[in-house]
Amino acid sequence: MFSKRKPASENLFSTLIKSGKTFLETVKCAANSLSCMIDRKEALKAVRERYLKEASTDKYATSDDMNLREIEISAISKHLFDGLKVLDIGCGNGYSTTSLAAIYESNFLGLDLSESMIEAAVQRSKGLKLNGSIQFRVANVLDMQIEPESFDVVITERLLINLPTWEDQMTAIKSIYSILKPNGRFLMMEATLQGVDKLNTLRQKVGLNPIAHSTKKNWWINRFNEEHIGKFLGEYFHIEKIQKFGMYFFISRVIHPLIVAPEEPRFDSKINEVARKIALELDTDYDQLGHSAFFVLRKTQK
């Protein structure tokens, strides 16, 4: 988690040129992101296989950092109320969906690409005391087959960053726009490159290794460039709020590893639990540290 990023074995331009791209394509790719270097089919296959293996009724099956997960759910919950039709795309085993349905008397539908995840979601939702109604269905965000303007709210949590190309991400966002009712809200809990970079800058100042943008476990990850995603979202939505969780990242990714060094920090440590409580109470971005970014978006008429 805290290991140094390995140096690239080849220059970006030479890698792209060897891939058969024209010079213009190479320049555009380098200017936008590294996602064009990824084999799209292999990446989508890897995503499906990972979540097939991780399918479980354990509430934190898809999230190592359980405290961050609870912070994110809390942030999303503040923008819901009773009487809504809510679509949670990439719901995994349904933990976030059921957590929200336990609070609000709304109609929730959870979608996920993984059949095993949906089976786990159905299983773990049995017997839970919920105020809202809830259903789960297997579906791909790139082909949801949902009627236009049928939901008041759409939620994604780290779904879009698992799409390997910018083109896929744009397609998904356009689909979300189309299925939202007029003035509907898109609650987009995703991740940005700049958030990781800001955190790494601080970590390096205090002698900690940078956190890699991706690992073997998620080599396809495609975090957003804040400038690019902001500009694109502005074409479809009014951006009501962009929230970061910098205080939590400062304590859990800087203070925590400094305290326990040379031991490895643990996500389930007491200090991370305290960091979560402080972050929820103070509700501060704290220099916008960390990869998580919560975009609160309202659909505008084009």
Q: What is the largest CA-CA distance in the chain?
A: 58
- Burial class of residue 216, CB neighbours in 10 A (0-12, 13-18, 19+): exposed
The pLDDT of 71-83, averaged and rounded, is: 97
Q: What's the CATH code of the domain at 192?
A: 3.40.50.150
- Which residues, in sequence order, are bridge partners of residue 154? 87, 186
Residue 1 lies in a domain: no
Q: Reading across the β-sheet that carries 292-299, which strands appear in turn?
A: 133-138, 107-112, 85-89, 151-157, 180-191, 292-299, 237-244
The pLDDT of 207-227, averaged and rounded, is: 93
Per residue in 25-54, pLDDT tens?
444 444 444 555 678 999 989 988 888 788
pLDDT tops 90 at residue 57: no
Tokens coding 210: 């940078």
Residue 5 lies in a domain: no
| pTM of the predicted model as reported, rounded to 2 decimal places | 0.86
Per residue in 140-166, pLDDT tens?
999 999 999 999 999 999 999 999 999
Residue 50 lies in a domain: yes
pLDDT tops 50 at residue 12: no
Domain count, the chain: 1
**Chain-centre distance of CA 25, in angstroms?**
28
Name the average pLDDT for the chain. 88
pLDDT of residue 301: 86
> What is the span of the domain harbouring residue 89?
12-299
Per residue in 256-297, pLDDT tens?
999 999 999 999 999 999 999 999 988 778 889 999 999 999
Residue 137 lies in a domain: yes
